[in-house]
Chain A
Amino acid sequence: MSEIKLVFTGSVGAGKTTAIEIISEIPVIRTDVRATDSETAKRKEKTTVAMDYGELTLEDGQKLRLYGTPGQQRFDYMWRILVKGALGLIILVDNAGSDPIGDLARYVDNFRDFVSNNQMVVGVTRMDIASEPDMDFYHQYFAERGIALPIFPVDARSKTSVVMLIQSLIAMLEFS
């Protein structure tokens, strides 16, 4: 095992940068710039164009590296770069986005190759802002396709939520 890294990916504004910021013990290296297209800009001021980077130091001094990808599809070359060699993947889906189930489908499909030997978990964020679709739709999407992955509601601003995502991922890794 060379680098121990986890990658946060998922839809625009789902909270990837926020999640890494809430648990990283170093100031997060971020590449957020002002969003210029109205679609993104009306949701938030800034968007990631290269990556986010945070760290957690383990007891023995090893570093757990946390990378965040840009959310916009245009940057998919970064997804491939960042995901290389990752221990696992955390997908965040913005429930208040215009097509959350579609986002889920796109990200899960995109990282399907990755998941065959590694693992992923999905967190659905901003359910407090939009309660629809409710979790049943997500579960149904998975059930219909025979996808067995953890998926549950989270708040990217909450440490407990983000910790739970990583704990679930590690649990999955133990049996992968």
Chain B
Amino acid sequence: MHYKISATHLSKNDNVFFKSMLQLIQIQLNDTWSYEETADIVLADIETPLGVAFWEESTQQQDKLVIAYARQNTCNAEWFLPKPIRVQALIKQLNAIATFKSTVQGAVQTSQTSENSPSSISTTKANLLGNIPNNTAQQVKPSDIPTNKPVSIEYFEPEHSLLGLIQSTIKKCETKCFTCEQGETIYISPQQKRCFTSKINFNHLTQKQRRLYASVAAQVTMTNLSEDALHQMAKAQGLENYAVETLLWLVTLCASQGRLMAGVAENSYVRLKQWPNFAVLPCQPVHLRIAAFMLKNATTLTTVSEKTRVDFSTLVDFFNACKVADLIVETTDQNVSTEAKPKSSAEQYLFKNILKRLSSHE
């Protein structure tokens, strides 16, 4: 089935981001989705007055299916996509809409659906049995044609993202420039263990920064350059420089989108090897909470999420960043020593108050 979707009242950045994201996730969607200027399925930013008006009108008239796009679902919209756009949430939402549409319009579409399914089933079977003819296997080998490799919905695979490119540049000790369409530009000097780019506000990344950090390898343009050229460039553009660790950390936080790092079993017991050096690894208060718990306890991420009351996808992003920074230890035994005993509410109130006072200090 082919669905058309448009977007309205999104900021320019969000709009560009949404379009490229839509292309990016094609392979993970159960159906084909394309962006059109006008369509019956519309993503509307309801944090703008016009967006809300549009949403209200369409909901009343029931002529369009509108996905409310905002940080919070304040309108109690049936179809809702949280801000900022994340791969997983978008896939989930679009697939859900497709399922909804197909049940409503099911009868009409049966013939088309059945046309598609046999081929996909046969591929899966062939894969499972491991009996794909050699030539076919070569065609889909991801390392040969990275563009064809789907962005995994389930796992975060550094080798298919900017992160992997930076890591291999560091390994090979090559000075390189990385950028992507409408994204930030960064220069990496493995020799100096620094990266050069425009100022980063750790509490608030720009759209340009997010776009680059979260991009898949295929979207990234890399250029080799000499150390001298890098220096001239940095000077001419007044670039700031940061530790490479800082960048790897930020890129991972941005790119993992709630997907666990490939190769990590979800139910393995993990703990922090040591306290992350938050002087160079930018963190949010929620990261401190997780770190405090994971420093003392070895357990599954699900348990960590429960005990710290941090949502799983935020936890996973942080975990991946720690993993990249080599701060994670996998253990065979579970060891939950600090029973996160329920603190008295007075104590919790006090901690919150202290943290509040401190944040006004910064």
Contact = CB atoms under 8 A, between A and B. Distances in A.
B158 to A, nearest CB: 24
A152 B353 contact: no
A175 B336 CA distance: 11
Contacts of B144: none
Nearest to B346: A1
B177 to A, nearest CB: 30
B362 interface: yes
Interface stretch (A35-43, A76-84, A89-97, A162-170): A162-170
B279 A168 contact: no
A142 B274 contact: yes
Contact of B289 (A4, A171, A176): A171
Contacts of B351: 170, 173-174
A166 B360 CA distance: 13
A155 B343 CA distance: 32
A168 B275 contact: yes
B278 interface: yes
Interface stretch (B75-83, B135-143, B222-230, B292-300): B292-300
B285 A175 contact: no
B253 interface: no
B128 interface: no
B350 A1 contact: yes
Nearest to B285: A167
B296 A160 contact: no
B340 interface: yes
Nearest to B308: A175
Interface string B327-358: 00000000000101001001110110111111
A135 B277 contact: yes
B294 to A, nearest CB: 10
A16 B338 CA distance: 29
B296 A163 contact: no
A154 B288 CA distance: 16
Q: Which of under 10, 10 to 19, 20 to 34, or 35 or more describes the interface residues of A?
A: 35 or more
B309 to A, nearest CB: 10
Contacts, number: 92
B291 interface: yes
A171 B292 contact: yes
Contacts of B347: 1
Contacts of B279: 152-154, 161, 164
B204 interface: no
A60 interface: yes
A160 B362 contact: yes
B350 to A, nearest CB: 7
B361 interface: yes
Interface stretch (A7-15, A26-34, A106-114, A143-151): A143-151
Contacts of A166: 354, 358
A163 B289 contact: no
A68 to B, nearest CB: 18
Interface of A: 1, 4, 23, 56-60, 62, 64, 135, 139, 142-143, 148-154, 159-161, 163-164, 166-168, 170-176
Interface of B: 273-279, 285, 288-289, 291-293, 295-296, 307-308, 338, 340, 343, 346-348, 350-351, 353-358, 361-362
Q: Which 9 A-B pairs have the closest CB atoms?
A: A171-B292, A150-B275, A171-B288, A58-B353, A139-B274, A172-B292, A175-B338, A148-B295, A163-B358
7 contacts: A23-B361, A59-B353, A139-B273, A150-B291, A164-B278, A168-B275, A172-B292
